[in-house]
Amino acid sequence: MAIRKVLTYPDPFLRQPAAPVTAFGEALDELIADMAETMWDEPGIGLAATQVGVGLQLFVYDLEVSREPDKVRVVCNPVFTVMEGEESDEEGCLSVPGFTAEVRRAARVVLEGNDRHGEPLTLDVSGLHARVLQHETDHLNGILFIDRLSPLKRNIFKRRHKKALARAED
């Protein structure tokens, strides 16, 4: 297992939609192990392959931050078949460090996809679990949580980010 570099805004790779996972096996298992290790190291509760520079429809998550490889959940090729209700909650992102904001998401989702072995997977979840699935699936479609903010809040983020970059260059 290796810790990988997490890409951060405004890296253009974060805006590229990912390709479906078609090859399941040892190479994918190694990527999953690296992603889990990276997620825990940051620390976070979810990580999409695009965040580590891999253009595949794959994400890992661990709502309990268990740091136990057998508790890591893996989703490949996710598609939402149901999105119901609405709720707002605070979100942050490993690719947008140091910034959090209220984001509106579906309260309940049904997601279909594949597990790490390519077997069909269906998740019917709500609350934080639904929020994480939506956040990570957004990454696979080139969407960051800041894209879901109002124009005013997005501009506030961009100004803060620009100031932080200027301070870092000094």
Instruction: Check residue 158 and give its pLDDT.
Output: 86
Average pLDDT over all residues of the chain? 95
Compute the C-alpha angle 147/59/131, nearest 5°. Answer: 50
Q: Percent of the chain scored above 90 by pLDDT?
A: 84
Mean pLDDT of 103-131: 98
Instruction: Check residue 66 and give its pLDDT.
Output: 87
Residue 10: asked if its preceding bond is cis (omega within 30°), the reply is: yes
Q: Which residue has the tokens 């990276």?
A: 38
For residue 136, give the H/E element and its range: helix 127-140
Q: Which CATH architecture has domain 12-169?
A: Alpha-Beta Complex (3.90)
Domain spans, the chain = 12-169
Q: Give per-residue pLDDT as tens, 72-81.
A: 999 999 999 9
Instruction: Check residue 90 and give its pLDDT.
Output: 95
Residues with catalytic function: 136
Token readout for 151 is: 């124009």
Q: Give per-residue pLDDT as tens, 14-65.
A: 999 999 999 999 999 999 999 999 999 998 999 999 999 999 999 999 999 8
Q: Which residue has the tokens 């124009």?
A: 151
Q: Which residues pair with 13 in a beta bridge?
A: none
Tell me the C-alpha distance between 71 and 66, whole Å.
Answer: 7
